[in-house]
Amino acid sequence: MPKTAVPSAPEQPQVAPLDDLLQAERELLHKYQLHELPEEDEVPLENHYHRLQINLLHELTYQLFKNRTDFYCGGNMFLYYDLKQAEKVIKFVRGERRRAPYKGPDFFVVLGGVDGTKDRKRWVVWHEGGRYPDVIIEITSPSTKSKDTKDNLLLYSKVFRTREYYWYDEAVGELVGYRLQGDEYVPIVPGERGWLWSEVLGVWLGVSDAPFLGWRYRWLRFYREDGSLVPTNAELAEAERQRAEQAERRLAELEAELKRLRGEP
């Protein structure tokens, strides 16, 4: 049985933004006559399910931490982790090179010590006190599975030092997770129901066929320690509607019983 997690400040060191990195970024932008680093490469997401699954994870995370503002939840956005990578991305977006070290996790959470109210178009590590994601989830597909299941293990463990990394293949219902121990990722052992416990988020990760926005897929969902689903906004609204209907029925039954006792028709 997992211990109830109370996410707090992450184990990653928080490094103040370095003046030389910021100055180097300004020089890089001036060189390419840009106001800011690119935020997209105009490459669309894989498919309809892919888009909805990322949206679902966002909604569940904000529901999970609804009383907190010290976290950031991002997805399918550029993540810059060094200036050489940034320059290669710029050249790629400008059509000056065929490939780029673009890194944009499908879904990530930076938990504790960040301003969650700040709007961001990209995550730039040296703008964020040296902070990398604490949790990354990749929604894999045939075109990305090799990268998600192999290449990312090295980058996320050695460079990002992301505390937990998960990848999910909806087509076959396969969910795999890793937790950082020292300098290496160690597989997270599934629980009795095949779910994976996230020490960072304080929830189980598991699969559910409960509909989301009217669509039925094998959704990756969050479950609380007691096994209950972390609800979506629609599920909360439906539960409230059912409670209201039950209260109305009970009131009607009480009024009918009161009339009967009074002998009223």
Residue 223 and residue 237 share a domain: no
What CATH number has the domain bearing residue 166?
Answer: 3.90.1570.20
| Domains: count for the chain | 2
In this prediction, what percent of the chain has a pLDDT beyond 70? 90
pLDDT tens, position by position, 88-138: 989 988 888 888 777 889 999 999 999 999 999 999 999 999 999 999 999
Pair 72, 133 in one domain: yes
Q: Which residue has the tokens 């109210």?
A: 117
Residues 142 and 246 in one domain: no
Asked if residue 107 lies in contact with residue 137, where contact means CB atoms within 8 angstroms, the answer is: yes
Residue pair 116/7 in contact by the 8 Å Cβ criterion: no
Q: Are residues 206 and 246 in the same domain?
A: no
Same domain, yes or no, for 56 and 129? yes
Q: What is the pLDDT of residues 57-92, one digit of tens each?
A: 999 999 999 999 999 999 888 899 999 999 998 998
Same domain, 147 and 224: yes
What confidence tier does 144 reach under pLDDT thresholds 50, 70, 90?
Answer: confident
Question: Do 139 and 174 sit in the same domain of this protein?
Answer: yes
The answer to whether residue 28 is domain-embedded is no
Sequence-distant (≥ 6) Cβ neighbours of residue 242 within 8 angstroms: none
**Whether residue 136 sits in one domain with residue 66:** yes
CB contact at 8 A, 127 and 156 = no
- Taking the C-alpha atoms of residue 75 and residue 65, their distance in angstroms, rounded to an integer, is 17
pLDDT of 6 above 90: no
C-alpha distances in angstroms, 103 versus 19, 41, 141?
24, 11, 16
Residue at 98 is within a domain: no
Q: Is residue 108 in some structural domain?
A: yes
Same domain, 159 and 264: no
Do residues 213 and 241 share a domain? no
Residue 30 lies in a domain: no
Q: Which domain holds residue 242?
A: 232-265
Q: Does one domain contain both 214 and 250?
A: no
For 215-253, letters b (16+ CB in 10 Å) and e give eebbbbbbbeeeeebbbbeeeeeeeeeeeeeeeeeeeee
